[in-house]
A and B are shown apart, each in its own frame.
Chain A
Amino acid sequence: MNDFEERLKALKLVEPSERYTSYARSLFRASEPKKPMGLAWALAACLALSLSANLYLISVDHDQPSGSEVVNRGGATKQIHGVYVPGNANQPHLRIKENS
């Protein structure tokens, strides 16, 4: 590059205007996928918790002794600790704890 070109190059373009960059950024922001609303997030979290908790609720007979092992709906073997969930006697559910 000769002197003349170097001199030209020294006439640097300034950064494009603030409007130029800020508007472009707003375009990119607007194109981002919309995030679910707070309520939708809360509902989704509740549903997930419910499903997760349900895996640990198993139907067992009332006379199943504490300490015996059962397989929950998730397929994991758990040990009953004898913590009953109060409720309908026709639907005997026993909440079990992780046998750590």
Chain B
Amino acid sequence: MRGNEADAVFNRCSRKLYSIAMGVTGNRPMAEDAVHQALVGFLATQPDPDNLEAYLCRCVRNEALRAVTGQRRFIPDDSEFLTDTMESEWSKPEDEAFLRQVCDALTALSDDQRETIVMHIFGGLTFKEISDVREAPLGTVTSWYRRGIASLKTGVLNDE
């Protein structure tokens, strides 16, 4: 039964799925809803893809894109993106300042660059996995990442 397999994939990859949706929406409730909606769709139709994990990842991204259709992608909650979802027990004020700079700089990146960085850095997806989810060549994904990281670094350093 594919439902059981999907359950196992979710147990293993819940954070990956979540980060894929977060990379698109930048909004925690929207990201959670996108994952749930993708699961509902899967369980209702029970398709039989070769690679269930990659399939679910793509479904989640599609749902996240659908959720932000007609509006600007990556809509942080009152600039609280990540701060709401990251470890909140900051021991040092500079860590929190760094986090805020990262959030601002992420918002300024292109959609492709931001998604790739969020998936890779925060979701732990490999470039190959991102390439499968995005259905883009591996070289393109690494290019998005490299340029995104460079822009992010510049943005953060300029903000300091």
Option from A12, A24, A30 in Cβ contact (under 8 Å) with B14 = A24
- Which A residues between 23 and 42 are near B, CB-CB below 8 angstroms? 23-25, 27-28, 30-33
Fill in one digit per residue for A1-32: 1 if any B CB lies within 8 Å of its CB, else 0: 00011011101111111011101110110111
Which secondary structure dominates chain B's binding surface?
A: helix
Give the interface size class of chain A: 20 to 34
Q: How many A-B contacts are there with CB distance less than 8 Å? A: 74
B155 to chain A, nearest CB (A): 11
Fill in one digit per residue for B125-138: 1 if any A CB lies within 8 Å of its CB, else 0: 00000000000000
Option from B7, B14, B82, B102 in Cβ contact (under 8 Å) with A16 = B14
Q: Which residues of chain A come closer than 8 Å to B28, judged between CB atoms?
A: 17
The interface of chain B, by Cβ under 8 A from chain A, is 1, 3-4, 6-7, 10, 14-15, 18-19, 22, 28, 32, 35-36, 39-40, 43, 82, 85-88, 95, 98-99, 102, 117, 121-123, 149, 152-153, 156
Given that A24-B35, A31-B43, A32-B3 are known contacts, is A13 also in contact with B14, CB under 8 Å in the complex? no
Q: Which residues of chain A come closer than 8 Å to B6, judged between CB atoms?
A: 28
**Whole-angstrom CA separation of A24 from B85 in the bound complex:** 18
Contact B121 A8 (CB under 8 A): yes
The interface of chain A, by Cβ under 8 A from chain B, is 4-5, 7-9, 11-17, 19-21, 23-25, 27-28, 30-33
A18 to chain B, nearest CB (A): 11
Contact B43 A13 (CB under 8 A): no
- Using CB atoms, name the residue of chain B closest to A12: B87
